[in-house]
Amino acid sequence: MSRLYLCLLLAGLCAFAQCHHTPDHKENHGHGHSPPAEGERGLRSLKIAPGNADFAFRFYHHVASETAEKNIFFSPLSISTALAMVSLGARTTTLSQLMSGLGFLDITEEETYEVFHDLFRLLNRPNAELHLDIGNALFTADQVKLQKKFLDDAKHFYETDVLPTNFKNPAVAESQINSYIENKTNGKIVDAVKGLNPDALMVMVNYIYMRANWEKPFNSLSTREGDFHVDEQTTVKVPMMNKDSWFAFYHDKILSCKVVKLPYKGDVSALFILPDQGKMKLLENALSKEVLLKWMNSTKSQRIDLSLPKFTISGNYAIKGMLRRMNITEVFTDQADLSGITGKPELKISKAIHKAYLNVHENGIEAAATTAIEMVPSSLPPVLRFNRPFLMLTIDEETGTVLIMGKVMNPTEA
């Protein structure tokens, strides 16, 4: 239980959001696109739901294979959104790998961007009971000249902030980007970006912040210290929230687990999945979008005496290697074709990081996540610093005569 349900809590949050929500803010009808009706927008946003769910579980499998018995927590929507932004400027094999890796095989590129735009409009809601804020930013160096179409598309489809950044001073650039992320995530994600490359030309950022109240809150007076069995040998004391009520419940006998759905106010729900003793690996191996759909369609109202830990958890991942294992490879190499960004295939992704935060309490949850993607020139000049002993020769090239020769051991000695 210590890994799976923590991941699924945010991994499926946005997939569970219903599509009949009406945004409070006005539509931006630029770009020559006629605004779809609310119902049409909801139906269109469902087109990427299977791909997003598939990406979530494939990514989870890779994280779980690397983290052994540690907690796992991430936002697949944040990662997939950042990569979908990259795809705006991707071409040829680089683009096809991104679309395939994201699970968007049955829709066109243009349709993918339109659907993400719909999804943001449906999910962003500044309500008091369910506050959900999803956004993007592009931090760019002065020397990179972006294509007008790329900028227009980033602003229209992904509502992206574009901010000039001096990467030649990495400390200042990191402070700028981290302050932006910290502000957008209500202070929950700090110091997300570290060790920026002074040759970086761009950093793409996605952020998600969510604060949601349970439809049926837990009574804090019922919270008691209880045992949490980490494994057969280890037991820890944790505050356990308790509630005897009616919940949407399903006992999956095939996968040896029990599923309970806890709704938030505002058409979003969390699934908590508890495998039988010793059945975690069986459950993890079976995770898929089909299993998720089965659980969502199989829960029935049942009275449950529920105990749930009250906790705060975070995740911090360098995701480049995981994405490579998901067959998104070319975008990280000198063969990357991101010519849609600058007009020339001169960029590649050098670094991709993801951070997430979750606090579960009696009244609901507070969660935040960010994904940052650093881009550098695809062919960086080799670094050559004569900062250790070296030799020096002066040669007459016409005759090949060595005129002078020396070795410098300490340039401060006369």
pLDDT tens digits, 284-305: 999 998 999 999 999 999 999 9
For position 30, what pLDDT does the model report?
A: 41
Percent of the chain with pLDDT over 70: 86
Check pLDDT > 50 for residue 10: no
Note the helical H segments in 227-338: 280-286, 289-298, 320-325
| Per-domain boundaries in the chain | 4-214+311-377
pLDDT in tens, 191-202: 999 999 999 999
Tell me the three state secondary structure of residue 196: coil
* Predicted local distance difference test score (pLDDT) of residue 46: 78
Report the range out of 260-264, 373-377, 393-397 with the highest average pLDDT: 373-377
What is the percent of the chain with per-residue pLDDT over 90, rounded to a whole number?
64
Strands 160-164 and 130-140: parallel
Q: Bigger pLDDT: 135 or 30?
A: 135
Q: What is the pLDDT of residues 87-135, one digit of tens each?
A: 999 999 999 999 999 999 888 888 999 999 998 888 887 777 789 999 9
Domain 4-214+311-377 homologous superfamily, CATH:
Antithrombin, subunit I, domain 2 (3.30.497.10)
For tokens 């890796």, the residue is 101
Type of residue found at 142: D
Of 42-51, 356-365, 380-389, minimum mean pLDDT range: 380-389
pLDDT of residue 391: 74
Give the model's confidence band at 20: pLDDT under 50 very low, under 70 low, under 90 confident, else very high.
Answer: very low
Task: Supply φ then ψ for residue 61, to 5 degrees.
Answer: -60, -40
> What is the four-CA torsion angle of 115, 117, 119, 122, rounded to 10 degrees?
-130
Segment 138-161, tens digit of pLDDT: 999 988 899 999 999 999 999 999
N-term to C-term CA, the chain: 69
Ramachandran assignment for 403, one of left (phi > 0), alpha (psi -120 to 50 degrees), beta (any other): alpha
Q: What is the mean pLDDT of the chain?
A: 86
DSSP per-residue codes, 343-391? SSS-EEEEEEEEEEEEEE-SSEEEEEEEEEEEEEESSPPPP----S-EE
